[in-house]
Chains A and B, each alone.
Chain A
Amino acid sequence: MSPDEVAGRLRSGMTIGIGGWGSRRKPMALVRALLRSDVTDLTVISYGGPDVGLLAAAGKIRKLVAAFTTLDSIPLEPHFRAARQRGDFELTELDESMFMWGLTAATHRLPFLPVRAGLGSDVMRVNPELRTVTSPYADGEELVAVPALRMDAALVHLNRADARGNAQYLGPDPYFDDLFCDAATEAYVSCERIVPSTEFADAGAPQTLLVGRQSVTGVVETPNGAHFTSCMPDYGRDEPFQAAYAKAAADPDAWREFTARFLSGDEDTYQAAVAAFAEEGA
């Protein structure tokens, strides 16, 4: 599939999960395809980074489910900050581990899972729909019942995949991409390179095969497709580009220029513009 074909499978109003973490191995080529599409009114579930920032800037988010939205080396995502301060979308603000257990509950087809996290914090105040559950055993503990984070579609980016959807991560952290795929009705995997399944073993041990084809609807080959986030060990974060993104995001005129230069064409146009940007800095 192509990134635009993936976006063509999505519908306005869907709940979409986006893998990666912060500014790390985000399916940015698929997010850019979403920006080019007329899909909007989304509920986005993400350990947020520039994926959330770009969708927020384009006005495509109706509701965000997140514990944070960060660029990592730049602590706060500027589009996210601006959108929150304008009150642009609803937010379900969860703790990082509540988020993980919400994904886990969804993958196990459970309505909720009990966690200690959240007790006593204002996560309970700002999400009045959250309920507690009491242990039926002798301890009688009262814990937070984190609801399952089911999603219509998941978008993730991995290092390698085969044409059937088995996908491999080669960096130090799998993040939660397997949970996103398992928690979704449809999941789309973009990857640096589509390889024959026979090549997986040479690249890494079996435990690097994170995502199984039974959970994957479509596979997309998008070299540099996590740019400008990191995709270790294929490439690190493009810090100069991210800094330029953050700077542009803070100013409407600069953002129009940035959009015209980088986000007004297809993925190949984007990658060519990024290469030109790198040349200028070199």
Chain B
Amino acid sequence: MSTQDATADERSDVTRAEYCVIACAEAWRGDGEILASPMGTVPAVGARLARLTFSPDLLLTDGEALVIGDVPAIGATPEVVEGWLPYRRHLSMVTGGKRHVMMGASQLDRHGNQNISCIGDWKQPARQLLGVRGAPVNTINNPTSYWVPRHSTRVFVDKVDMVSGVGHDRAAAAGPSATRFHELRRVVTDLAVLDFETPDRTLRVRSLHPGVGADQVREATGFPLTIADDVPRTREPSAEELRLIRTVIDPAGLRNREVRT
């Protein structure tokens, strides 16, 4: 039996984490010769999958200062170094725009404002998180996507406590210099794929992962969410994609630690 034919119905052997990997990989489809900067395990598996399949020109790093020429398993040491990207040059990739980052988000609102800095009042936060890190420079300069391993009302909130990554409303309010290169591409969660392809550029569901209902996503989202009646399912992985994920990129199954099944 050819598993590649199983596109209409969900396949019992594909895990939720694997649908997430496919959805993350899709974020980089058509990106050409730019740096894929995944943050988190599932996005890292997705970026490597995209590189090995439909986006072969993507650049990848070892997570530190080296651009790697091969595509080793997650956690393995690369054998080929094709470039040097210390932090100072990485920041030039960001501002030069030849990069598509997929960041995490402790909070995300319907306009795409993201918070990784702190929860509560910034002056004396209830919970100090990472700080803004590079979220302001990323969002205003190169395509940005988000990865949310646990879709919940704690993450998808009406208003974020500290705008680290800039959303559409805030970019528009800040003027042409802020919108010039601003592009929020996708939000991938453990339940669905979302984007901002609506007239007012607010979040909508682009696809639901197999086994996930629209109401489940609405209940896990802290603001009204557009989900079309005919919203598609996240696509099935091909047999070759499954082979690459399971035996080449993530044989240790690290993806399953990030996504509960």
Chain A residues with Cβ under 8 A from B133's Cβ?
Answer: 67-68, 95-96
A89 vs chain B, min Cβ distance (A): 11
Across the interface, name the chain B residue whose C-beta is closest to A96: B134
Chain A residues with Cβ under 8 A from B136's Cβ?
Answer: 95, 98, 117-121, 123
Contact at A116–B177, with CB atoms within 8 Å?
yes
Among A141, A174, A176, point to the contact of B176 (Cβ < 8 A).
A141
Chain A residues with Cβ under 8 A from B175's Cβ?
Answer: 119, 142
Q: Mark A121-149, 1 if CB is under 8 A from B, else 0.
A: 11101100000000000000111000000
Contact at B134–A95, with CB atoms within 8 Å?
yes
Q: Kindly state the separation between the CA atoms of A1 and B86 in the bound complex, as whole angstroms.
A: 30
Contact at A173–B137, with CB atoms within 8 Å?
no
Contact at A173–B140, with CB atoms within 8 Å?
no
Contact at B177–A143, with CB atoms within 8 Å?
yes
Contact at B177–A119, with CB atoms within 8 Å?
yes
Band of interface residues on A: 35 or more
Q: Kindly state the separation between the CA atoms of A80 and B94 in the bound complex, as whole angstroms.
A: 27
Contact at B162–A84, with CB atoms within 8 Å?
no
Among A70, A81, A86, A93, point to the contact of B117 (Cβ < 8 A).
A93
Chain B residues with Cβ under 8 A from A86's Cβ?
Answer: 124
Among B65, B131, B180, point to the contact of A69 (Cβ < 8 A).
B131
Among A80, A121, A126, point to the contact of B135 (Cβ < 8 A).
A121
Q: Mark B72-97, 1 if CB is under 8 A from A, else 0.
A: 00000000000010111001001100
Chain A residues with Cβ under 8 A from B257's Cβ?
Answer: none
Chain B residues with Cβ under 8 A from A80's Cβ?
Answer: 128
Q: Kindly state the separation between the CA atoms of A21 and B87 in the bound complex, as whole angstroms.
A: 9
Max count, chain A CB within 10 A of own CB: residue among B66, B128, B166: B128
Contact at A142–B177, with CB atoms within 8 Å?
yes
Contact at B132–A97, with CB atoms within 8 Å?
no
Interface status of A75 (Cβ within 8 A of chain B): yes
Q: Kindly state the separation between the CA atoms of A81 and B119 in the bound complex, as whole angstroms.
A: 12
Q: Kindly state the separation between the CA atoms of A105 and B84 in the bound complex, as whole angstroms.
A: 24
Chain B residues with Cβ under 8 A from A68's Cβ?
Answer: 130-133
Among B91, B118, B139, point to the contact of A96 (Cβ < 8 A).
B91
Contact at B86–A172, with CB atoms within 8 Å?
yes
Task: Report B130-184 residues with CB < 8 Å from chain A CB.
Answer: 130-137, 139-141, 162-167, 170-171, 173-178, 180-182
- Interface residues of chain A, those whose CB is within 8 Å of chain B, are 21, 66-70, 75-76, 80-81, 84-87, 93-98, 100, 115-123, 125-126, 141-143, 172-176
- Sample of 27 A–B contacts (CB below 8 Å): A67-B133, A68-B131, A76-B130, A84-B118, A85-B128, A87-B123, A94-B132, A95-B132, A95-B133, A95-B135, A96-B133, A97-B94, A98-B136, A98-B137, A117-B141, A118-B137, A119-B136, A119-B140, A120-B170, A121-B163, A121-B170, A122-B122, A141-B176, A173-B65, A173-B87, A174-B86, A175-B87
Those 8 A-B pairs whose CB atoms lie nearest each other, nearest first:
A117-B137, A87-B124, A68-B131, A120-B174, A172-B65, A120-B166, A95-B136, A121-B136
